[in-house]
């Protein structure tokens, strides 16, 4: 199957708004954590809908997506973004990335507090360069920092599982970077 790289593709195709629940859950969880600052960088924000879900929790959201002509704050690639964000998130983005180690390194570099990731599990698509099992997702993201929270997402349910994610259609992970959340 030929893959379509959303990082260079404009428009709504392939950018369905399926992250509403994980964005709201992550914002709720992070609002209760000690925070170095209230800046939140949402990476791969697509149509930029995360702002309306995260900002009511007291964060200032900066949206990023490298694809052209999307309604985001910046289309700069991650390696050209500088700053220290209390939270850096990538909601259902990591499966679209060709070089996962480089991507997770950039997420960690930009965060001075927490990195939040969500990903579908065992889901192949013309837009996915990675297909994650729970174990593979945890293995590929463990370099970010210390895993604070891990949730399995299922049809109509969510369950905190820490490192024991084993079922469901998706996962939400919260990592602390440096000494935050310790």
pLDDT classification of 160: cutoffs 50, 70, 90: confident
pLDDT the model gives residue 14: 60
Question: C-alpha angle with apex 177: 176 to 179, nearest 5 degrees?
Answer: 85
Residue range 105-141, pLDDT digits in tens:
999 999 999 999 999 998 888 889 999 988 899 999 9
pLDDT classification of 163: cutoffs 50, 70, 90: low
pLDDT classification of 101: cutoffs 50, 70, 90: very high
User: Where do the domains of the chain lie, and which CATH numbers do they carry?
Assistant: 6-11+18-176 (3.40.50.150)
pTM given for the model: 0.91
| Mean pLDDT (whole number) for 43-54 | 93
Q: Which of 140, 145, 125 is nearest to 171 (CA)?
A: 140
Helical H segments across the chain, by residue range: 20-31, 50-54, 100-110, 134-141
Q: Does position 100 have pLDDT exceeding 90, yes or no?
A: yes
Q: Does position 180 have pLDDT exceeding 80, yes or no?
A: no
pLDDT the model gives residue 16: 64
| Mean pLDDT (whole number) for 89-97 | 95
100-110 and 134-141 helices, crossing angle to 10°:
50
Q: Does position 67 have pLDDT exceeding 80, yes or no?
A: yes
| Least reliable range by pLDDT among 66-70, 76-80, 85-89, 156-160 | 156-160
Residue 115 is encoded by which pair of tokens? 């990195």
pLDDT classification of 162: cutoffs 50, 70, 90: low
Provide the mean pLDDT of the chain.
89
């Amino acid at each position: 199957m030929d893959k379509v790289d959303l990082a260079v593709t404009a428009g709504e195709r392939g950018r369905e708004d399926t992250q509403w629940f994980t964005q709201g859950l992550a914002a709720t969880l992070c609002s209760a954590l000690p925070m170095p600052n209230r800046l939140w960088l949402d990476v791969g924000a697509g149509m930029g809908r995360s702002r309306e879900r995260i900002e009511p929790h007291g964060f200032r959201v900066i949206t990023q997506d490298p694809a052209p002509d999307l309604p985001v704050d910046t289309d700069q690639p991650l390696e050209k973004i500088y700053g220290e964000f209390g939270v850096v998130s990538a909601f259902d983005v990591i499966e679209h990335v060709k070089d996962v180690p480089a991507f997770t390194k950039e997420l960690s570099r930009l965060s001075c507090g927490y990195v939040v990731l969500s990903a579908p599990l065992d889901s192949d698509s013309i837009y996915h360069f990675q297909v994650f099992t729970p174990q593979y997702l945890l293995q590929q993201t463990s370099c970010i920092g210390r895993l604070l929270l891990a949730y399995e997402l299922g049809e109509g349910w969510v369950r905190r599982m820490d490192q024991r994610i084993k079922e469901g259609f998706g996962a939400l992970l919260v990592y602390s970077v440096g000494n935050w959340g310790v």
